[in-house]
Structure 1
């Protein structure tokens, strides 16, 4: 086996087995390539033997190249995922990655997560879960929050009937019992289908779609904890919460040209005034980008 074989297998696993986004696959394979090259690794047992001090030296070299704290935290997370996979490939009875704390991330101003960050968060809750079906569940929930603009309570109120009926749109019940129709992205439909296939509990039409580890309804706290773990691994600020994904849905649609009335309907706001906050968020983002890009900003 060669280093190229390791990377090819890792890429296929991420894309085919873990169903990661192309962006995540590219980023994880690039990190793995750097780790393999820096340590002259040529088989899975060699990767599996990587310990905390090896990672510390690798990341120190990357920091010397100018890598910032947030990027270092993401690189560490990708390294751990690669080593865990290597230990599984080697038949290690304890495949957990080496324990190593990432750098502290300076807290920034509250802001929507970017599209790439939203997908990375969804992918990471899957990677970090104790069981495959739990990871698929949490990934599907986060993609509903970002891709369809749902409140967390709305996502967790979905039933088995909703999963069976989910196509390009989904009917949800929001505050005050108000119903609305929201779009469902292909990546979200695929994530829900993957969760349904792996869920060990019977998903009957009238029962909650998203289940806890013991079969009861999934609680918002479990989703919040899973996302908190993922955002720390990615070096994102504390403002990257499940509800921030709904804000990001609104902000990104407004940036792309959606009108306020349509956005009001998609978000289920009772008044247009609740929706207008996103015009201020978008203006702040526009000004920040202008200052970064303009030669005299």
Structure 2
């Protein structure tokens, strides 16, 4: 089965166009499924729908969130389809009902909190210009961090102030950025020319190589610790902030959908709930009879 998983990994990356993060999650799901098969003395080629229902119960017994269970079912459904590309055998996971997704409001920063983040970029660090650029671009464009670290110098049009972004499913989109991000970019580029090794990636680490997603997370965590605002930040909060602030200022949902690179409008629609809550809180705090 190791060879099949290896081939599946390449299939996800090169044919399905999944991000490395999603690819890793899918492979981990398949490996955990393999362990379950061994423990239950089951075979992958004779695994049936009733066995799939048993596996679903097994996942729920682990107290996993509904979104995690749903992803694991999607992983295995895709894996079985991959194994049986040239066959018409029944996929044991095809008829399995996905659990309803957990509903949550995306976390975001208020404008004054964003101002504090920018103010706390450590000016004493030699790479502070890069750290500021990371904040500026994430807030100005709503990019996923995987998209940010994949940016190349050739993806940037300074004159038009736009980025060419390769998103999920290898879909390209054009995303504009503003004057603050442009100034930060121009401030950073001499530093990049001084330290960058032989590659065309935009963001570099302190060794001159291409900065990773983990590196961005470390940088953002360091900044947030200096503000003393919250104990934890995830990079997606800046993407949520980008979308929420646009909608709060009157941007239409379709435009925000295109900027974020969402396939479904319903995904972008989560942010309308955030803006409604924002309006509600403003009303409660400002109206004398609230």
Class of the TM-score when normalised by the shorter of the 2 chains: 0.5 to 0.7
Q: Show the counterpart of 1:174.
A: 167
Q: Is 1:130 equivalent to 2:125 in the alignment?
A: yes
Q: Show the counterpart of 1:155.
A: 148
Q: What pairs with 1:219-238 in structure 2 (closer than 5 Å)? A: 219-238=212-231
Q: Show the counterpart of 1:201.
A: 195
CA distance in 2, matches of 1:222, 1:123: 20
Q: How far did 1:292 drift?
A: 0.9
Q: Is 1:249 equivalent to 2:242 in the alignment?
A: yes
SS of 2:195's partner is: coil
Contact 1:166 1:184 in 2 (8 A): no
How many residues align? The count is 185
Q: Show the counterpart of 1:26.
A: none
Q: Is 1:120 equivalent to 2:116 in the alignment?
A: yes
CA distance in 2, matches of 1:238, 1:260: 31
Q: Show the counterpart of 1:269.
A: 262
Contact 1:126 1:136 in 2 (8 A): no
Contact 1:168 1:183 in 2 (8 A): yes
Contact 2:132 2:184 in 1 (8 A): yes
Q: Show the counterpart of 2:176.
A: 183
Q: How far did 1:164 drift?
A: 5.7
CA distance in 2, matches of 1:207, 1:169: 18
CA distance in 2, matches of 1:110, 1:268: 17
CA distance in 2, matches of 1:287, 1:166: 40
Contact 1:142 1:242 in 2 (8 A): no
SS of 1:295's partner is: coil
Q: Cα deviations across residues 191-221 of structure 1 (Å, max 9, x unaligned)?
A: 11111112223477x6211011111110122
SS of 2:274's partner is: helix
Q: How far did 1:176 drift?
A: 0.8
**TM-score scaled by length of structure 2:** 0.59
RMSD: 2.2
CA distance in 2, matches of 1:267, 1:166: 22
SS of 2:225's partner is: helix
Consecutive unaligned residues in structure 2, runs of 5 or more: 1-104
| Greater Rg over alpha carbons, structure | 2
Q: How far did 1:113 drift?
A: 0.8
Contact 1:125 1:227 in 2 (8 A): no
CA distance in 2, matches of 1:260, 1:138: 30
Contact 1:150 1:246 in 2 (8 A): yes
Q: Show the counterpart of 1:210.
A: 203
SS of 1:172's partner is: strand
